[in-house]
Amino acid sequence: MNKKFFENPIVKKWIPEEIAEWLEKIVAENFRDADNKWGSWKVKYKARHTLKVVKWGNILLKNFKEAGWNKKQAIIICFLHDTGRFPQVKQNSYSDIDTGIDHASLGAKMISEFSFDWENIWCNKAEITEAIMWHSRKEYLGKNRYAKFIRDADKLACFEDWKEMEKDIEDRKIEGTGINPLVWMRLEAKEPIDNNLVATRAEWVLNIASWLWNINYKAARKEAIKMGMSKILLEEFKNNGNTKGEVERLKKNLEEFRKSA
């Protein structure tokens, strides 16, 4: 019997069994075929991350004021958003660059090849695959609100797992206090920072701060503040050894964010 990765009440309530079984199988196969024990650990970790995104998606949907959300579709997108991660992380890396796998495109492709009658459950396959395709790109300028929604739910789940993000950056030996002026510029313009620009730990902290500005929905911004993200980022920056002036500069930016939320 396959190990159940997705025993969860929200999954049980909202995800049709055929879809849940499909993803269970993908996770189980990649867990089994992982390159080493850290690869299988990462497969398991990403299955847990999936459940956290489902949880945050559910919280956001409860707090949204605007009408007309297809809740089943939204939760399905949370559940499937990292489908392409599982074949990737068995290589023991979360990095699209290092593995040469664009996990979002791969996930969208896997879902579009999955033969399932989406219309039968009142879901729109094109909307689902588009949302998944764009869930982790630097920015999304389209109109699909499920794409905006999954980007927010995913960020909240990552914030919740701050320790794991830190560990990943340490494993990848990204360290140091140096900051490319372009990184400050983009953060202060409230624009997303390209992952390729992140070469030091200080730049990584500023990149995460820019995620805050790129949250789409007010309900998600509020959750990020409730989680104490501005405090966490400032502490991280201080502990990293950045100068007082730099810490003050980030503090100002984060205060502005708090006021805007």
Give the binding site for Fe ion (CB under 5 A).
Answer: 82, 136
Per-residue tokens: 43: 């497969």
- Residue with Cβ nearer Fe ion (102 or 175): 102
Min dist CB 236 to Fe ion, Å, is 22
CB 160 within 8 A of CB 223: no
- Residue with Cβ nearer Fe ion (85 or 249): 85
Q: What is the 3-state secondary structure (H, E, C) of the chain?
A: CCCCCCCCHHHHHHCCHHHHHHHHHHHHHHHHHCCCHHHHHHHHHHHHHHHHHHHHHHHHHHHCCCCCCCHHHHHHHHHHCCCCHHHHHCCCCCCHHHHCCCHHHHHHHHHHHCCCCCHHHCCCHHHHHHHHHCCCCCCCCCCCHHHHHHHHHHHHHHHHCHHHHHHHHHHCCCCCCCCCHHHHHHHHCCCCCCHHHCCCHHHHHHHHHHHHHCCCCHHHHHHHHHCCHHHHHHHHHHHCCCCHHHHHHHHHHHHHHHHHC
- Residue with Cβ nearer Fe ion (88 or 230): 88
Please give the angle made by the CA atoms of 43, 127 and 112, to the nearest 5 degrees: 55
Min dist CB 19 to Fe ion, Å, is 18
Min dist CB 152 to Fe ion, Å, is 13
- Residue with Cβ nearer Fe ion (80 or 209): 80
- Residue with Cβ nearer Fe ion (104 or 205): 104
Min dist CB 107 to Fe ion, Å, is 7
Min dist CB 73 to Fe ion, Å, is 18
Min dist CB 121 to Fe ion, Å, is 23
* Exposed/middle/buried for residue 111 (C-beta within 10 Å: 0-12, 13-18, 19+): buried
- Residue with Cβ nearer Fe ion (40 or 136): 136
Min dist CB 104 to Fe ion, Å, is 6
- Residue with Cβ nearer Fe ion (82 or 152): 82
